[in-house]
Amino acid sequence: MRTRRGAFLAGAGAAVATPLAAAAHPIGGYRRTPVPLEIAQAVRAEFVHAWNGYKLIAWGRDEVKPVSGTTNDFFVDGRTFGLSIVEALDTLYVMGFDDELARCVRWIGDHLELDVDADVQMFEWVIRIVGGLLAGYAATGERMLLERARDAADRVLPCFVKSPTGAPYRYANLRTGAVREPAMNLAEIGSNILEFGELTRLTGDPKYMRASKRAYEAVIAKRSGLNLLATYFDVEKGAFSKNVDVAPNPPVDSFYEYLWGAWAMFGDAQCRDWYRMLTDAILKHQADRTTVRGRLWFRQVDYQTGAPAGTRQVELAAFYAELLAKGGDREAGSDYYDSWTSVSDRYEIIPEVFDYASGAVSAPSNELRPEYANAAFDLWFLTRDEKYRDTAYRHFLAMREHCRVANGYTIVDDVRPRPMKLGDLFPAYSFAENFKYLYLMFAEPRRFDAANYYLSTEGKVLRGLRR
């Protein structure tokens, strides 16, 4: 019997089995570089492979563990919010899987329960659930998705409203609005202005954008005389709790990304000016071009004195190459991207944490991270330099060679041995990010406006979808 799922699988299988798939693979007769549309089709086929694994094993659950054939609850043990479904909406749209998209929208309408007596981490909730629903709304025009996005945002708004400083608490109870955990970091404080700003734009209610701006103000007011910020912030005391500044590494990364985003999406000049001031300070005090000759890295410093405090790099910082370029520092962006390419060339899959001075890898795993592809994606559309598509293609081939398993793709526990030591999870963000970046770079589909787009830190297309 051919079920709906069967039909979709058959389509995917056909795509995988074409001569293209063999031609595109370096092992097994690769002779020529495929043209962009061939690569786009291969990426699309791999997305389908991962999506089918999720549907087969975990449909309706947050995440699939493709190796063990089990599932993962992302926010709350024993509770699902269908996270992978919410995260995949706009990817399904740009790739043209309209029946699948309709099925996901139906699932959200019928099964997504937000009135739950449980605490969720506000940052993850906003970039994944609120952002996913907003991107789904942009893709479909389905009013229910916007209403759900608003409801989801309202349930974590107490994190901001109940804070004496305006910088948000870390957790909120979805049903009661009780908040907890004043010890925060910059990424979690700032990475909401795109989703909240979009809600304000769509609903006309200023409270969302206002909450995000107050949060930024509370932190930026505490910058040092060097215009540097530290990393950890107590939202009740309104003060940094340690002196170390790890920018652009986590847990700071998207704090800066969203300042530029608020300018690019909403024309907020204050955010643009903050971005410029803080980025100038990062480039002045943290950029390190001498420890590894010919490479740009960013060192950790004491935010008050600028004294060096470490040379640790986290894979999540790779996105910063595109942010630098978008913000006007194109040479630094290109150089930083090249630094990450050197790591990618060495390991094929970039390890999570290493020290750029010693070369020592301190965390050899990779959580199917999208940041390098994210950088390639934005840099490609900004510069049209083929360097970015060439390296992104190599990244895709490495991912396919090392992370592909029978029921999709999985994280890697250790990228150093061959074969790599695999883990057992397909993170939901990979439905929103990895394949989408690669597909859009090579397909440039009519549904995506490459001249006027903006994506959130979770890869949600908040602007640039054509219906």
Q: Find the shortest distance in angstroms from Cβ 152 to ligand DMJ.
A: 16
Please enumerate in sequence order all residues whose Cβ is within 8 A of that of 6, keeping only pairs 6 or more positions apart, or say none: none
Q: Find the shortest distance in angstroms from Cβ 422 to ligand DMJ.
A: 18
Q: Find the shortest distance in angstroms from Cβ 370 to ligand DMJ.
A: 6
Which string of b and e fits 425-443 if b means at least 16 CB within 10 Å? bbbbbbbbbbbbbbbbbbb
Give the nearer residue to ligand DMJ in terms of CB position, either 158 or 459. Answer: 459
Positive or negative, the Cα torsion across 436, 442, 446, 449? positive
Give the nearer residue to ligand DMJ in terms of CB position, either 9 or 373. Answer: 373
Q: Find the shortest distance in angstroms from Cβ 4 to ligand DMJ.
A: 29
CA distance 316 to 299: 15
Give the nearer residue to ligand DMJ in terms of CB position, either 278 or 316. Answer: 316
Q: Which helix (H) or strand (E) covers residue 240, if one does?
A: strand 239-240
List contacts with ligand DMJ (CB under 6 A). 254, 316, 369-371, 429, 457-458
Give the nearer residue to ligand DMJ in terms of CB position, either 34 or 197. Answer: 197
Q: Find the shortest distance in angstroms from Cβ 346 to ligand DMJ.
A: 20
Q: Find the shortest distance in angstroms from Cβ 84 to ligand DMJ.
A: 13
- Rounded to a whole number, what is the distance in angstroms from the first to the last CA of the chain? 34
Tally Cβ neighbours within 10 Å of residue 113: 10
DSSP 311: -
Give the nearer residue to ligand DMJ in terms of CB position, either 8 or 171. Answer: 171
Give the nearer residue to ligand DMJ in terms of CB position, either 63 or 142. Answer: 63
Give the nearer residue to ligand DMJ in terms of CB position, either 185 or 457. Answer: 457
Q: Which residue is nearest to ligand DMJ (CB)?
A: 457
Backbone angles phi, psi at 291, to 5 degrees: -60, -45
CA distance 407 to 384: 35
Is the Cβ–Cβ distance between 74 and 27 less than 8 Å? Answer: no
Give the nearer residue to ligand DMJ in terms of CB position, either 74 or 388. Answer: 74
Give the nearer residue to ligand DMJ in terms of CB position, either 224 or 344. Answer: 344
Q: Find the shortest distance in angstroms from Cβ 308 to ligand DMJ.
A: 26
Q: Find the shortest distance in angstroms from Cβ 71 to ligand DMJ.
A: 19
Tokens of 176: 């009661």
Please enumerate in sequence order all residues whose Cβ is within 8 A of that of 153, keeping only pairs 6 or more positions apart, or say none: 126, 130, 195, 196, 199, 208
Give the residue among 61, 214, 203, 184 at the shortest CA–CA distance from 123: 184
Please enumerate in sequence order all residues whose Cβ is within 8 A of that of 432, keeping only pairs 6 or more positions apart, or say none: 87, 88, 90, 91, 128, 132, 458, 459, 460
For 183, the 3-state DSSP assignment is strand
Q: Find the shortest distance in angstroms from Cβ 382 to ligand DMJ.
A: 19
Residue 25 burial by Cβ neighbours in a 10 Å radius (0-12, 13-18, 19+): middle
